[in-house]
Structure 1
Amino acid sequence: MSSKRREIPVFGHAIVETHCHLDYLKDRPLEETLAQAQAVNVERIITIAVAPKNLATVRGLVKDHTSVYGTQGVHPHDAEAWTPEVETEIRDALRNHDQRAKLVAVGEIGLDYFYDNSDRDVQKEVFARQLQIAVDSDRPVVIHSRDADEDTIAILKDFEASLKRRGVIHSFTSGPGLAQYAIDQGWCLGFNGISTFNKAENVRDIIRMTPLGSLLLETDAPFLTPVPYRGRENAPFYIPFVAEKVAEVKETGIEEVLAQTYHNSYRLFFPPASEI
């Protein structure tokens, strides 16, 4: 291995991978991916639903793998695929006694005005409907927001009183206004391999302003592979590089970052087992 492709570091503290898409990984068998993640101390992995077509896939993954947890939700790219039947499927899955403990959030939901794959009014309606599902099911929310800061804030304000569990704005690349609103309202911000990219100083600026108590680690695998493995398919076992970068940007020790983000992950996704 060249000096640019150094070994993945292994730290003493366990890590929760809070956002990836296991069913999208192609480079290696899933069991190999999970074993490699365990080898670098990734204790739990949350795989995220994004479309009607993979809701059941996520449910199967969490059923079949002890360390894998999941979500149910429809991404803004697929908002136009929302139907009453999809809403019923999500609500029923979150009520299912056998799966309740392993389907830990509603997501990935939100707004994406960069690609505009779905009509913006439809995106806003489906975002709000899924926030109501989170209220009704007492789940936190995993939010995608791109080039939609103002509308994201406006819709979240409608749920300030009712959404007790809050959630995370994942893969945070938005501006300081949305970041500060989220932090003030008790949301977490999720950071991934983008934080390691040379031209991502805007993301590192947000990391600097985010208290450690509001920060989560993720990969968004198979996307956004961190330096020094850019160009390869991303995977949960690359998350130590994200932790390293966060510690560097925050000018604090890696163990402090790992301990606090682990606590944050449990507080948000796995209550009441959060007093660690």
Structure 2
Amino acid sequence: MSKKRREIPVFEHPIIETHCHLDYLKDRPLEETLERTRQVNIERVITIAVSPDNLATVRELSQAEPWVYGTQGIHPHEAETYTDAVEEEIRAHGSDEKIVAIGEIGLDYFYDHADREVQKDVFRRQLQIACDLNQPVVIHSREADDDTIAILGEFESTLKRRGVIHSFTSGPELAQYALDQGWCLGFNGITSFNKAENVRDIVRMAPIEQILLETDSPFLTPVPYRGRENAPFYLPFVAEKIAEVKELPLEQVIQQTYLNSLKTFFPAA
């Protein structure tokens, strides 16, 4: 007999989905996903660009509803598709009204889908765009802690608005560096996985004032819905897990991560 899944909790205080991929969702129409997302009191959603193929798509999605926003950037997996024309497009739209960050950018040495030197070059070029546009960044770093620290260090004085290292699964050295520099760390359904004690250790060390909530949907569906396609409306389970791991009142976690999200992506709000 299968274990009955809990209903998705609805909190009185709104929450913000800081990282998802709306154009990757397949299980239901976008309108239904957004409706269910609003029903669980998610106030804003940020959908993330990853490749030249979806830069324009993300901009279009950011117009779907007043509370949907987007980013512009090229994921390290796609670094070898980065061209001067792509850079020009990111620059041209990186500070559009509904675009709130440059990302998802960074380094991925786990899959090595792109040459590492190319990844580093593209990472630097996009960090420079963020500096020039005064935008925060959404960073992907996997098995690349030392190079991520080194490259971010090159921009310590010029990148005035930091951002987030999303889906944080790296080691304590990168976590501590990022926290010391004023970055946020993004956590998602991985925090609920049985074998993710290393991630929960980082949650414990991170001040609640520097934590953001995300789903990274359609990936990394949290317990108790693992096995299904992830979606923004599962974000409340991430909030609950963060509160449990940090041994903090749930309401405190919800309110503080909401403020963190505003400070990072919506400073004028």
CA distance in 2, matches of 1:173, 1:83: 29
CA distance in 2, matches of 1:249, 1:271: 28
Query: What's the CA shift for 1:102?
Result: 1.0
Tell me whether 60-69 or 132-141 shows the greater mean CA deviation: 60-69
Match of 1:50 in 2: 50
Match of 2:6 in 1: 6
Amino acid in structure 2 at the alignment position of 1:224: L
Match of 2:255 in 1: 259
Match of 2:230 in 1: 234
Q: Which runs of 5+ in 1 are unaligned?
A: none
Query: What's the CA shift for 1:3?
Result: 4.7
Query: What's the CA shift for 1:65?
Result: 1.7
CA distance in 2, matches of 1:63, 1:202: 38
For residues 152-163 of structure 1, what are the structure 2 equivalents within 5 Å? Answer: 152-163=148-159
CA distance in 1, matches of 2:37, 2:3: 22
Match of 1:214 in 2: 210
CA distance in 2, matches of 1:4, 1:158: 50
CA distance in 1, matches of 2:224, 2:29: 22
Query: What's the CA shift for 1:67?
Result: 1.4
Match of 1:150 in 2: 146
Amino acid in structure 1 at the alignment position of 2:72: Q
Match of 2:112 in 1: 116
Query: What's the CA shift for 1:89?
Result: 0.5
Q: Which structure 1 residue ranges, 4+ long, deviate > 6 Å from structure 2?
A: none
Equivalenced residue count is: 269
For residues 123-142 of structure 1, what are the structure 2 equivalents within 5 Å? Answer: 123-142=119-138
Query: What's the CA shift for 1:271?
Result: 1.1
Match of 1:165 in 2: 161
CA distance in 2, matches of 1:158, 1:193: 31
Tell me whether 170-179 or 86-95 shows the greater mean CA deviation: 86-95
Q: Which runs of 5+ in 2 are unaligned?
A: none
CA distance in 1, matches of 2:120, 2:85: 19
TM-score, normalised to structure 2's length? 0.99
CA distance in 2, matches of 1:32, 1:272: 30
**3-state DSSP of counterpart to 1:10:** coil
Match of 2:198 in 1: 202
Match of 2:61 in 1: 61
Query: What's the CA shift for 1:2?
Result: 6.0
